[in-house]
Amino acid sequence: MEFSIKNGNPEKLRTDCLVVGVFEGRKLSDSAKQVDEAANQAISTVLKSGDMEGKLASTLVLHQVPNVVATRVLLVGLGKAAEFTERHYRQAVRAAVKALPKGVQNVGFTLTELSIKKSDIQAKVAHLVETVLGATYIVNAIKEKKPQEHALDKVIVQVEKAETTAAEHAVNSGLGIAKGVRLAKDLGNLPPNICTPTYLGEQAKKLAKDYGFKVEVLDKAQIEKLGMGSFLGVAQGSLEPPKLIVLQHLKGKKSEKPVALVGKGITFDTGGISLKPGAEMDEMKYDMCGAASVLGTFKAIGELDLPLNVVGIIPTCDNMPSGNALKPGDVLTSMAGLTIEVLNTDAEGRLILCDALTYAERFEPSAVVDIATLTGACVIALGNHASGLFSNNDGLAKELLDAGEKSYDRAWHMPLWDDYQSQLDSNFADMANIGGRAGGSITAACFLSRFAKKYDWAHLDIAGTAWKSGKEKGGTGRPVPLLTTFLMQRAHKTK
Ligand code: BES
Ligand code: MN
Ligand code: ZN
């Protein structure tokens, strides 16, 4: 899809479909007003007839609007003017895309004219780009007949002349993020018999080739050599060989310490011997969405050619029950030398991440962020809107929270107090791998924190935000927007 920035009168815009907004109470946006005046009140006349009130995300297509160059005018409802926020803006853009008649290949948006608190032209344009690409995303389903692609291939974004340069930059960053989101969705949506650890390794190599990253995909023998007893404990139940993927984007100063992103790559989580119930178990193919978000973020920073050093570390394997699988009661020795009593084989994410966190030390990172579909408890705590954020450094936490707000991919700061640590006490090892039902997402983070003492670290629990269930089942590509925005902010600071 191609995006271009234009200035000028909306009624003169040459496009298959011009999108203008209408607030509740049939109140026209500035562009809608301008088009209405040029068109001898054609819009207000239709509104007066009662066809549209301006309810959020409602739409109406008008044809042959007099004195308007566009073939069609699409009215989109914006809801109450006084309550208009970023969320409403995104909903309106999405509704407009979904309502485009089939033949429309080229659309013109005027919605960036709407004022939104705490948002500027750059944010509005970037969100428009991401929302349009999100709304036209099609799952690459394995069906006899390939799903038809959206006809839309050109999007014009109408802005004020003075906003042009900022808007053009925003198209660029929005596109970079959207491409990363798309990759993360695609990987998440793939079936687990295709998206194996080996497959993820191949994808990392492909990305490295496309964008000039350094890449290494370590195999089981190399992982053994590193002493990753905890990671290997999880992997041992599966016939699929584990991989440790290491990607490096080295576009910062040589002396600059890298940011490390560590992604949980469980390509299928059955629970292992502590087997999960059967209902909806298919969704555990999404247990590699942390890994997918690291690959997606690398795609985005590759596209944007971000002047920064970034390392991606992905431990990836299946969690399966078998004659060879981990058992409750087993004690594993991690790469850090700390021993872990496995009380529940379904708490496997932390077991593969702890070794990856120890591995991260060798890069002397300025910060490490791990991303994991780690706990059902996080979904209970925060639902599907915010990712859980835990950190041993408040400054880093703030950077990530801000990036989440800016990219509308939000996280919520959770406690990581020492008070919770004793829930992990074990009679038989340095720690247990579970801390009981109370505060399950917090004790999981506490477990990880024990392996992240040598650097500034944050953990994003994306169990509730990485995919959607039900009719809209599918990966969301989160938190690629948050992570990419965080890295963009860092690149800006170190320049
Ligand atoms: N991958 C799951 C977490 C998960 C559960 C994500 C549901 C999304 C939806 C993780 O490996 C897991 O099974 N966690 C257990 C931990 C428990 C055994 C302490 C959980 O949350 O039930
Ligand atoms: Mn599990
Ligand atoms: Zn899991």
Number of independent structural domains in the chain:
2
Phi, psi at 114, each rounded to 5°: -70, 135
SS3 390: strand
Report percent pLDDT > 90 for the chain.
Answer: 97
Given 108, 131, 160, the domain boundary residue is 160
The tokens describing 444, both together, are 């999981």
For 172, counting Cβ atoms within 10 Å of its Cβ (0-12 exposed, 13-18 middle, 19+ buried), the class is middle
Between the two ends of the chain, the Cα-to-Cα distance in Å is 31
- Sign for the CA dihedral angle at 215, 372, 219, 334 comes to positive
**Spatial CA neighbour of 116 closest among 106, 101, 127:** 127
Is residue 437 a contact partner of residue 423, using CB atoms and an 8 Å limit? Answer: no
Do 195 and 156 fall into the same domain?
A: no
Model pLDDT for residues 19-39, shown as the tens digit of each residue: 999 999 999 999 999 999 999
115: Cβ–Cβ under 8 A, 6 or more apart, which residues? Answer: 84
Cβ(461) to ligand 1 under 6 A? no
Distance from Cα 373 to the centre of ligand 1, integer Å: 8
- Of 160, 189, 215, the one marking the end of a domain is 160
CATH number of the domain enclosing 139: 3.40.220.10
Q: 199 and 314, same structural domain?
A: yes
- 417 and 340 housed in the same domain: yes
- Closest ligand relative to 375 C-alpha: 1
Rounded to a whole number, what is the largest CA-CA distance in the chain? Answer: 82
- Per the structure, the complete domain to which residue 292 belongs is given by 178-493
Domain boundary among 132, 160, 188: 160
Q: Which residues pair with 421 in a beta bridge?
A: none
Same domain, 450 and 304: yes
Q: pTM surpassing 0.95?
A: yes
| pLDDT bracket for residue 149 (50, 70, 90) | confident
Is residue 410 part of the annotated active site? The answer reads no
Atom of ligand 1 nearest to the CA of 276: 13
Note whether 145 and 195 are same-domain residues: no
The residue assigned the tokens 């308007």 is: 68
384 part of a folded domain: yes
Residue 166 placed within a domain: no
Distance (Å) from CA 376 to ligand 3 centroid: 9
Q: Residue 171 falls within a domain, yes or no?
A: no
CATH number at residue 426: 3.40.630.10
Pairing mode, if any, of strands 309-319 and 243-250? antiparallel
Mean of pLDDT over the chain: 97
Asked whether residue 495 carries a pLDDT value surpassing 80, the answer given is no
Task: Please compute the mean of the pLDDT values over residues 246-262 and round it to a whole number.
Answer: 98
Decide whether any atom of ligand 1 lies within 6 Å of the 318 Cβ: no
Regarding whether 121 and 251 lie in a shared domain, the answer is: no
Is residue 173 in some structural domain? no
Residue among 316, 343, 346 whose CB has most ligand 1 atoms within 8 A, to mutate: 346
d(CA 462, CA 67): 50
| Nearest residue to 263 via CA among 375, 374, 418 | 374
Instruction: Please indicate, yes or no, whether residues 133 and 184 belong to a single structural domain of this protein.
Output: no
